[in-house]
Amino acid sequence: MSTLSNLPEPQTPQAPWALFLDIDGTLLEHAAHPDAVVVGDELRTLLAGLDLQLDGALAFITGRSIAAVDHLFQPLRLRAAGLYGLEHRLTRDGRVEAADEPADIAALAGEIEAELASADVYIERKGPILAIHTRAAPHLLKRATQLVEQALSRLPTGYRVLAGNAGVELMPLDAVKGAAIRRFMQQPAFAGRRPVFLGDDTSDENGFDAVNEMEGVSIRIKPRGPTTARHALAGVGEVLAWLGTVSERNGAGPAALVPR
């Protein structure tokens, strides 16, 4: 594994290529509450242009639900894997393959909400995934992690705990970004292209592994420790600048911010 200090910045990908994007910490700065982030028209225009250039071979790969992504980026609607790949929209205008919240996860969410009743902790219920955000209360991260780890023994097999930069999540074992990327790469818009994936957190490492196996381009944003990514960018600003440069070199014209 490597760290930011010894990873090169990525070059402009050679065609044909496909683009996979994490959102929080990659395209947008993190906020204490997931709903506090704002998407500007400049970013929407950039993404619409890249989607046009790539003939639709662009997809979000995110821990957010697809409904939340659509709300955030409206009216722009792109292909997406939500909830770490438990939800998919494989075509621009296709249906969303959604994931429901199991009863045992709903009950656990209620218990943890009671235990960590604080305005500084946000507990996000995302179908079969339970996320505890402690960015505004870092002193509670240890306790939040203990609660979800203790719950594993009471849940059906097939769940795991994933610690992030500022929170912890409980999720099914099959909620992995690498599997989502592999599924997209089998779709007509992506087949035969070289995958490029940008992400910033531990949950993105599985995606980097998948992209590396496909001889693609893996890019970690602001690594805080070891990573399997082969390239790095220092922050969100650098990501947007790099994507802008890529778009210019690919000759994208103005793109309308409407679903296609």
What is the DSSP secondary-structure string of 111-125?
Answer: HHHHHT--TT-EEEE
Task: For 29, list phi and psi in degrees, rounded to 5.
Answer: -65, 145
pLDDT for 71 equals 94
Q: Which of 22, 24, 51, 201 is catalytic?
A: 22
Judge residue 216's burial from the number of C-beta atoms within 10 Å of its C-beta, 0-12 exposed, 13-18 middle, 19 or more buried: buried
| Angle of CA points 149, 150, 156, to nearest 5° | 85
What pTM does this model have? Answer: 0.82
Q: Which pLDDT value is given to residue 258? A: 33
Of 77, 91, 80, 79, nearest to 256 by C-alpha is 77
Confidence at residue 36, expressed as pLDDT on a 0 to 100 scale = 80
Catalytic site residue 104?
no
Cα–Cα distance, 172 to 149 (Å, whole number): 13
Which domains occur in the chain, in start order?
4-98+175-250 (3.40.50.1000), 103-172 (3.90.1070)
Q: What is the pLDDT along the chain (260 residues), one digit of tens a residue?
A: 555 558 999 998 887 999 999 999 999 998 777 778 889 999 999 999 999 999 999 999 999 999 999 999 999 999 999 999 999 999 987 899 888 888 999 999 999 988 887 668 889 888 898 999 888 888 888 999 999 999 998 898 899 998 877 889 998 988 899 999 999 999 999 999 999 999 998 889 999 999 999 999 999 998 778 899 999 999 999 999 999 999 998 774 443 333 33
Under 8 Å between Cβ of 192 and 200: no
